[in-house]
Amino acid sequence: MIVRDALFIGGSWVPPAGDGVIEVGNAATEEVMGSVPDGGPVDVDRAATAARAAFDEWSRTSVDERAKVVERLGEALSALVPEVGTVVAQEVGMPLSMATVIQGALPALVMGSYGSILREVVFEERIGSSLVVREAAGVVAAITPWNYPLHQAVAKVAPALAAGCTVVLKPSEVAPLSAFLLAEAAEEAGLPPGVLNLVTGRGSAAGEALVAHPEVDVVSFTGSTTAGRKVAALAAQSIKRVTLELSGKSPSVVLDDADLSEAVNSAVRQCMLNSGQTCIAWSRLLVPRHMHDQAAELAADVVASYVLGDPLNPSTTLGPVATGAHRERVRAAIQGGVDEGATLVAGGSHQPDGLDRGWFVSPTVFAGVEPGMTVAREEVFGPVLAVLPYDGEDDAVRLANDTIYGLSAGVFSADRERALGVARRLRAGMVDVNGGGFNLLAPFGGFKQSGYGRELGRHGLEAYLETKSLQLP
């Protein structure tokens, strides 16, 4: 049991205002693995007040000093990589070998990257008779999800601190434990009191209180589009700046000259990463109609190679989903696909064989999916792939863009320039070309109802800076 009974406010570990507790479940065993305080509005007020008190001094520190702090914080997180990987693997269900790298090491790299990024920012420029300066935007409310808990926290905290902002972090109650490791790393790195504050609690209490708090200037939220609408509406009442990173129903487009086997293998594995609990998952596979049946068969072969089991078992290549409630939502979506007439070629809504405990879902592939089917339009957030046929390149682009979302996409072609041409036509914030890898310095974010604003790299710093013009005689 990992018991956390204090909140990190004003540089100290303090007891919460109430005695409520949130239990954290182990996704593979369904047992309680830890607990955190169920914080509320009183705790949020203390944290926001502490962040406001620390803002003036922190925002006036030199660029070099802030750069050194985030670099030290990155080093402190690097030392915690094995612990983070183990904790998140149990909370979320990602196999440990992947969790150590993605959930543990990547956030440390992102944090450290903001030292060099910050040193390259131009904070002052002359435009005619004016001096235009860029300065910290204020107190930041960082509200983060459960699927990549530390990574998503760092994607907000790192640029905010680098910009000179102070932060109140409210992690998801489903997977909050790594946030405490981040707070401890901040202590070790010598972050001044009040610059980073941690309050755990539920979105309906702590989250909404934080968004509405008068001392908060900027809100950065990652979660579902439904929740994002509520956050935006609440923040609008006091005209707060808002960044939203929301849902997706992302396509991977396989053009007719692509190596079908390689493209399908890459697309399926991207879709199934973290048991499909990934906002940028390519959950729609678009293939030429004459290749549809072969593509569906290849996809079924790929998912058949997965080994489901406890994330801490080295042989496991696909773990459970994060909660029992989420498992039921994913299974209902799978059954919905069957009911609407899609062809189930792998997986299904049944309990996987040999796994009596744990919130497991079989990796699932649907073929013959029509564009109007729910499984082709709504985010499942589980290991579910829909294969859709198209007729010609223009039709592929039309189908790829036929969604209220626009977060991510992939394009595969033997001709790189052709693939780039299609990628430029897709209404998505991020497009991988022929399996191009993740770049932690590139802007991360979406179009349409996938949100607005960007995270990571230099573009991720923009959300936390204000622009001021000083008119000179």
**Helix, strand or coil for residue 346?**
strand
Pairing of strands 21-25, 465-471: unpaired
Q: Per this entry, what is the length of the chain? A: 473
**Helix, strand or coil for residue 410?**
strand
Closest Cα to residue 360, out of 277, 269, 250?
Answer: 277
Evaluate whether 17 touches 206 at the Cβ level (below 8 Å): no
> Which long-range contacts (C-beta less than 8 Å, at least 24 apart) are formed by 428-435?
428/250, 428/400, 429/454, 430/280, 432/270, 432/408, 435/262, 435/266, 435/410
Evaluate whether 148 touches 274 at the Cβ level (below 8 Å): yes
Compute CA 451 distance to the chain's CA centroid, rounded to the nearest angstrom: 12
Please list, residue by residue across 279-314, b when 16 or more beta carbons sit within 10 angstroms of its beta carbon and e when fewer do: bbbbbbbbbbeebbbebbebbbbbbeebebbbbbee
> Hey, which residues does 150 pair with through a beta bridge?
none
∠ CA 163-164-167, rounded to 5°: 100
Q: What amino acid occupies position 243? A: T
The single residue of 71, 173, 215, 245 carrying the catalytic annotation is 245
- Phi and psi at 157, nearest 5°, equal -65, -45
Compute CA 196 distance to the chain's CA centroid, rounded to the nearest angstrom: 20
**Helix, strand or coil for residue 466?**
strand
245 is catalytic: yes
Please tell me the distance from the alpha carbon of residue 285 to that of residue 367, in angstroms, as a whole number.
Answer: 10
What count of other Cβ atoms lies within 10 Å of the Cβ of residue 419?
A: 23
The single residue of 165, 208, 271, 279 carrying the catalytic annotation is 279
455 is catalytic: no
Please tell me the distance from the alpha carbon of residue 164 to that of residue 170, in angstroms, as a whole number.
Answer: 19
Closest Cα to residue 105, out of 119, 94, 116?
Answer: 94
What is the Rg, in whole angstroms, of the alpha carbon atoms belonging to the chain? 22
H-run or E-run covering 8: strand 7-9
Q: What amino acid occupies position 248? A: G
In 16-57, beta strands by DSSP E: 21-25, 32-37
For the annotated catalytic residues, the residue numbers are 245, 279
